[in-house]
């Protein structure tokens, strides 16, 4: 049965954040709110949690997982980014965008796209996520909570708790969350390519 944390969206309770992070640190899988929609989150190096995300979402090995980062200093450890791309990303960050970039050696191979050697990264504009990342001290391995054969993500924490009670370890509920995933921009070739239109305005990258 999953733990349930009802947290304030602007000032999340430190005790709840600490307990949720301890679940992540011990290899657990959590559901947490972002600035776009709810997401599945786990420790970067947890193979078991990665397999659980694949199972819940029915993903193949070509799926781009996302490293949710606290800031650019953290993001820069895990992806290769030149000055032009950095400026483009910084103009819309933090925000509801995921950027696909060539990964550094800090990223476990099992998280990489098998051919491109790329990974998704993002810095969300959300108080709960920022509190989780500050406590954790490293990025969250993340994937949008979009269940197989469903067109939209779940938006209510209590409903997620009911439906995923036996396949995740914790649900962090901060109220109604958006029903639209991030906009995904692929910078792996050095030029922006919009590969998914979502919450973030894609016009500046087109």
Q: For the domain that residue 149 is a member of, what is the CATH number?
A: 3.90.870.10
Q: Are 119 and 79 in contact (CB under 8 A)?
A: yes
Structural domain of 39: 3-205
Looking at residue 114, what is its pLDDT? 81
- What the block records as the tokens of 127 is 């108080």
Q: In what order do the strands lie in the sheet with 3-6?
A: 3-6, 170-173, 30-32, 39-43, 140-144, 66-68, 118-122, 97-102, 183-186, 193-196
Residue 70 DSSP SS3: coil
Looking at residue 25, what is its pLDDT? 97
Q: What is the pTM of this model?
A: 0.95
Could you tell me the CA-to-CA distances from 173 to 29, 73, 159 in Å, in that order? Answer: 15, 28, 10
Looking at residue 61, what is its pLDDT? 79
Cα distance between residue 107 and residue 85, in whole Å: 20
Looking at residue 60, what is its pLDDT? 86
Looking at residue 75, what is its pLDDT? 95
Q: How many structural domains does the chain have? A: 1
Looking at residue 145, what is its pLDDT? 93
* Residues of the chain falling short of pLDDT 50: none
Q: Kindly tell me the number of DSSP H helices and DSSP E strands found in the chain.
A: 6, 10
Q: How many residues does the chain have?
A: 206
126-182: pLDDT as tens digits:
999 999 999 999 999 999 999 998 888 888 999 999 999 999 999 999 988 888 899
Looking at residue 177, what is its pLDDT? 86
């Amino acid at each position: 049965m999953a733990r349930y944390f009802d947290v304030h969206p602007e000032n999340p309770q430190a005790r709840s954040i600490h307990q949720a992070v301890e679940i992540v640190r011990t290899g657990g899988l959590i559901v947490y709110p972002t600035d776009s929609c709810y997401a599945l989150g786990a420790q970067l190096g947890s193979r078991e949690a990665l397999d659980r995300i694949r199972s819940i979402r029915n993903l193949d090995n070509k799926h781009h997982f996302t490293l949710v980062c606290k800031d650019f200093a953290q993001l820069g450890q895990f992806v290769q980014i030149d000055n032009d791309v950095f400026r483009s990303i910084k103009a819309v960050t933090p925000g509801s965008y995921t950027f696909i970039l060539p990964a550094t050696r800090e990223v476990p191979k099992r998280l990489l796209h098998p051919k491109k050697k790329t990974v998704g990264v993002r810095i969300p504009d959300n108080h709960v996520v920022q509190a989780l990342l500050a406590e954790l001290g490293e990025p969250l391995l993340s994937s949008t909570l979009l269940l197989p054969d469903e067109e939209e993500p779940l938006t209510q924490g209590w409903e997620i708790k009911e439906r995923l009670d036996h396949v995740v370890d914790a649900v962090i509920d901060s109220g109604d969350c958006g029903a639209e995933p991030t906009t995904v921009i692929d910078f792996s070739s050095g030029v922006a390519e919009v590969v998914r239109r979502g919450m973030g305005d894609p016009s500046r990258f087109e």
